[in-house]
């Protein structure tokens, strides 16, 4: 299998809540408050890895060095 196919398969991987929270370094409570699109199957909630990464990219901000608290 080529590298691009492996990478695409990893991005299409479906993660449970615990794995998703661990991936982005937050607790389960915080994850439930975010508006990341999710897959619900009965009572279980899953997230597509690619969707989580797109969400994080959409929330990424570029901060100017002079705006950082340690530079004031």
In the prediction, which pLDDT does 2 show? 62
**Total domains in the fold of the chain:** 1
| CATH code, domain with 66 | 1.10.10
| Tens-place pLDDT, residues 49-68 | 999 999 999 998 877 777 66
| Structural domain boundaries enclosing 28 | 3-71
Q: How many residues does the chain have?
A: 72
| Tens-place pLDDT, residues 7-23 | 666 668 999 999 999 99
Q: At what angle do helices 3-11 and 49-59 cross, to 10 degrees?
A: 80
Query: In sequence order, what are the beta bridge partners of 13?
Result: none
């Amino acid at each position: 299998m080529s590298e691009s196919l492996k990478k695409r398969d990893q991005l299409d991987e479906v993660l449970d809540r615990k794995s998703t929270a661990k991936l982005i370094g937050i607790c389960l409570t915080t994850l439930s408050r975010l508006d990341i699109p999710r897959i619900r199957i009965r009572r279980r909630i899953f997230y597509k890895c690619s969707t989580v990464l797109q969400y994080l990219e959409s929330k990424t901000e570029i901060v100017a060095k002079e705006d950082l608290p340690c530079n004031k």
